[in-house]
Amino acid sequence: MQPSQGDVPVPESAERIRLAVQLRSRTDYRFDFWTALGWTAVTLGLYAFYILYRLVRRSRDHNLRRLEFLDAAATFAWEEAQLRGAAEELRPYFERIGAGLESMRRACREFRDPVIWLLLSLVSFGLTGMVAAVLLNRDLIDHDRSEASIEADLAFAFARLDHPLGTPLDPDRSVGRHNAAGRITATLLSLGIYAFWWGRDLMVEGNDHFTINRVYEDDVSAAVQDLLAS
């Protein structure tokens, strides 16, 4: 806990929000497909293994960071609701948020070690990478679904606290589920060439997801600062 202006203590939850936002540059790695493709060509395909490592790593690290951010934001909003006498009214929303956070915690405990997946892909000459690609897509879908529900309830809570978030939530933002069997077949029949397009989809979907998250996190951070100042 650090002091703010005027030596007024900053709630621990607000500080956790600030730190989680600061970590974006380390966890929300944004791929450039053409740069990655160029390095893959220069290294005769070896760079593709590094791409797989980074894809798995950014999924794991981003999910952990988002769990911390949303948990801290929910804690802060609940504390404010108690201070402003709105806790009982908002309790059902926070109960749903708690269930969503627990779902995210369970997902973060699943086996997604990037080093292990890299080694498995190396010894299988890239075949295990297709399994990782399927899991990355499904992880993003599950993660996005859980956090979208939490974000909606948090947005309602902040609005009830007279600090509505600036950007409305997009109900059509969900990530599409890949046709795993079709993509694996296309990769095998094309002797691996289709894997580049598959990897491109994973990169872009993650990049777009981070853009949406950034807007929401900035809105929450602004609302938190306004509430602290009021």
For residue 227, tell me if it sits in a domain: no
pTM for the model: 0.91
Beta bridge partners, 3, equal: 9
- Cβ-in-10-Å burial (0-12, 13-18, 19+) of 93 comes to buried
- Decide if 165 contacts 219 (C-beta within 8 A): yes
**Which own/partner pairs from 103-109 qualify as long-range (CB within 8 Å, at least 24 positions apart)?**
103/146, 104/63, 104/66, 104/67, 104/70, 104/143, 104/146, 104/147, 104/150, 105/67, 107/63, 107/139, 107/142, 107/143, 107/146, 108/60, 108/63, 108/64, 108/67
pLDDT digit string, tens, across residues 76-110: 999 999 999 999 999 999 999 999 999 999 988 88
Q: Within a domain: residue 60?
A: yes
Sign of CA dihedral 172, 208, 176, 219: negative
18 pLDDT higher than 50: yes
Residues in contact with 52: Cβ distance below 8 Å, sequence separation at least 6, in sequence order = 117, 118, 121, 129, 132, 199
Three-class SS state of 17: helix
Q: What is the pLDDT of residues 169-225, one digit of tens each?
A: 776 777 899 999 999 999 999 999 999 999 999 999 999 999 999 999 999 999 999
Q: Could you tell me where the DSSP H helices lie in the chain? A: 12-22, 24-27, 33-42, 47-83, 87-108, 114-123, 127-160, 180-189, 194-229
Residue 140 lies in a domain: yes
How far is 142 from 128, CA to CA, in rounded Å?
21
Tens digit of each residue's pLDDT (9 = 90 or more) over 43-76: 999 999 999 999 999 999 999 999 999 999 999 9
- Band (pLDDT 50/70/90 cuts) for residue 8 is low
Q: What is the pLDDT of residue 112?
A: 81
Instruction: Assess if residue 65 is contained within a domain.
Output: yes
Residues facing residue 8 across a β-bridge: none
Q: Is 168 part of a structural domain of the chain? A: yes
What is the tally of structural domains in the chain?
A: 1
Contacts of residue 48, Cβ cutoff 8 Å, sequence gap at least 6: 40, 126, 129, 195, 199
Q: What number of other Cβ atoms are within 10 A of residue 102's Cβ?
A: 11
* SS3 (DSSP) at 89: helix
HEC per residue, 45-83: CCHHHHHHHHHHHHHHHHHHHHHHHHHHHHHHHHHHHHH
Place of tokens 């002091």: 3
Which domain covers residue 188, as residue numbers? 10-219
Residue 6 is encoded by which pair of tokens? 């005027």
